[in-house]
Amino acid sequence: MHITDLKIRNLRSIAAADLELNHEGRPTNMAYPNVNILLGANGTGKTSVLRAAALAVLGKVMSGGAGFVADGLIRKVPKIRGRVPISVAKVTADLVFRAGEIRESLLSSLGPEPLGVTTQIRLRGTSELLESSTRPATAADALEEILYGKDESSYFIVGYGATRRVEASARVDESARTKSRLRRYERVASLFEDHLALVPLSYWLPGYEERNAGRYTQVVNLVNRLLPPACRMQKSATETDLGTEHLFEMNGVALPFRALSDGYRAYVGWIGDMLFHLCMRAPRGKKLNETHGVVMVDEIDLHLHPEWQRVVLPTLARELPHVQFIATTHSPLVVGSLESANLFMLVEKDGATSVQRLAESVHGRSSEEILLSPYFGLESTRAADVADALEYLAQQAVAGHANASMEYLRLLSGGMQKSELQRISAKAEGNTAAVKQALSSRRND
C-alpha cells in the first residue's frame, strides 16, 4: 500500500493542504522515489501531516475502541456573533494496493484506480467524534474489508513520534498492550501519545529464530545494513544478567542495547519496533525487502551524528525500496542527501499553513548553503553577535570608514579578540536601534 495523495482540512495549524506524495509507482527520475521529507519551522504542522496520514488510513479503526483519543486535533475556528461554530477537520488519502498485499479476489473488485479514504473529526463544544468513509461507492465493501477487517497482513503502515522510548524487555506485557490498543492503532500510536513505549528487539528477536529461521537471518542482516559501519548487531543472542538479547559490537566492544548511546538507541529502537510489526504480520516466504507499505518518522535525524544523518534516508530507501517513507527533519545534512522533488515545505502565513514544492536543487550542497537557502531561510549561520557585527562592518566599509574593511576580514577569519568583538557588537546594536527608530519616525510622519 502507498499513499498517492493526501488532502488535509482544518487540522491543527493546517487550514488546507494538498500533498502529492512520492512512491515507487509514480513516474519519476528521482534517485529515491519512495522518500518524502517535510520541512518547516516549529509549529507549521509537520507532525500534523504525519498524523493526518494515519487518521486518513486508519480513521474507522481508531474510532472503534482502539485506545485512540482525538484530543486537540481540531483547528480553532473564530466565534461568529458570540457563538462557537461546529468545527470539522477532514483528511483524505488516496491509496494504491498491490497484488501481493491483498487477496486477488479483492484486488479484482477494487480495479486499477487509486481508492480514497476520508476521515472526519467533528467538534461541537467539547465532544469529538471520529468518522471514516470510503469512495468510490462500488468498491466500498472491498476497501472496508482491507482496511478494517481482521486480516492484518493485508497492508502495512507504522508511524513514530519524536518521543521514541524503548520499553525494557522484561516489562513488555503483550496481553496488556493488545487490550489497551488495537494492533493497527498501536503501530502509529507514538505519533499521538508521547508516553508510548516501543517494542524492543530483545523481546521478540532471540526467540524468533526458532519460529522462522530464514526471516530471522533477514532481520539481523537488514539491521546491520541499516547501521553505520562502526556498529554491528551480533548474529546470535547472548545470555546476560537481564535475559537473552543481541549484543552490539561498537569498535570491537560488545554492548547490550541499554549501554548504547542515545542516538543508537533512538534509531535502533524504532527500526526494531518496525521490524517486529512487519514480521508479525507479513506472510511466510516473503522477503523483508519485498515489503510494501508506509513508514512515517517524526524527526528522523533525532540524536544521530552528522555523519549518519547524511546517509540515513538513502540507506533506508535502498534497503526497503517498496516502502514509502514520510518523515520530518530539521537537518540540512538529511536535506542535502535528497533532491528537491523529495522535499515539501510547510510555510505559515496569516496564521495558517500551506505546502509548497520548491524547484531549487539542494542535493550535494554544503550545510551552510542549504541553511541559507529558501528551505531553511536563515540570514546567517554564524552566532547572532558575530553576524550583526559583520553586517555593521560591511555597512561601515561601504560608507568609507578606513578600518572597517580590515576589521571585517579579521572577524571573518577568527582573528579578532573577544573584547574587540564586544565593542563592535555594541556599536552594531546601537546602529540597528537607530535605524529602527528612524524608520518608525518616518512611518509616524
90 pLDDT tier (thresholds 50, 70, 90): confident
List pLDDT tens digits, range 263-304.
Answer: 888 889 999 999 998 888 777 777 888 888 899 999 999 888
Rounded percentage of the chain residues whose pLDDT exceeds 90: 27
The mean per-residue pLDDT over the stretch 192-209 comes to: 88
**Is the pLDDT confidence value at 439 over 60?**
no
Inform me whether the pLDDT recorded for 7 exceeds 80: yes
The pLDDT, as a whole number, for residue 438 is 44
Give the 3-state secondary structure of the chain: CEEEEEEEEEECCEEEEEEECCCCCCCCCCCCCCEEEEECCCCCCHHHHHHHHHHHHHHHHHHCCCCCCCCCCECCCCCECCECCCEEEEEEEEEECCCCCCCHHHHHHHCCCCEEEEEEEEEECCEEEEEEEEECHHHHHHHHHHHHCCCCCCCCEEEECCCCEECCHHHCCHHHHHHHCCHHHHCCHHHCCCCCEECCHHHHHHHHHHHCHHHHHHHHHHHHHHCCCCEEECCCCEEECCEEECCEEECCEEECHHHCCHHHHHHHHHHHHHHHHHHHHCCCCCCHHHCCEEEEECCCCCCCCHHHHCCHHHHHHHHCCCEEEEEECCCHHHHHCCCHHHEEEEEEECCEEEEECCCCCCCCCCHHHHHHCCCCCCCCCCCHHHHHHHHHHHHHHHCCCCCHHHHHHHHHHCCCCHHHHHHHHHHHHHHHHHHHHHHHHHHHC
Q: How far apart are CA 157 and CA 320, in angstroms?
A: 14
- CA–CA distance, 232 with 221 (Å, rounded to integer): 10
Is it true that the peptide bond before 306 is cis, omega within 30 degrees of 0?
no
pLDDT tens string 139-174 = 666 667 667 666 666 678 999 998 888 877 666 766
Domain ranges of the chain: 1-34+41-156+328-381, 158-291, 384-444
Predicted TM-score of the model (pTM): 0.83
Whether the CB-CB separation of 307 and 333 falls below 8 Å is answered with no
The model's pLDDT over 414-429, given as tens digits with 9 standing for 90+, comes to: 777 778 777 877 877 7
Q: What is the pLDDT of residue 117?
A: 80
Cβ atoms of 139 and 111 closer than 8 Å? yes
Above 60 in pLDDT, residue 126? no
Return the number of other C-beta atoms located less than 10 Å from residue 103's C-beta. 14
Pick from 303, 312, 319: nearest CA to 219: 319
308-350 pLDDT per residue, tens? 899 999 999 999 999 999 999 999 999 999 999 999 999 888 7
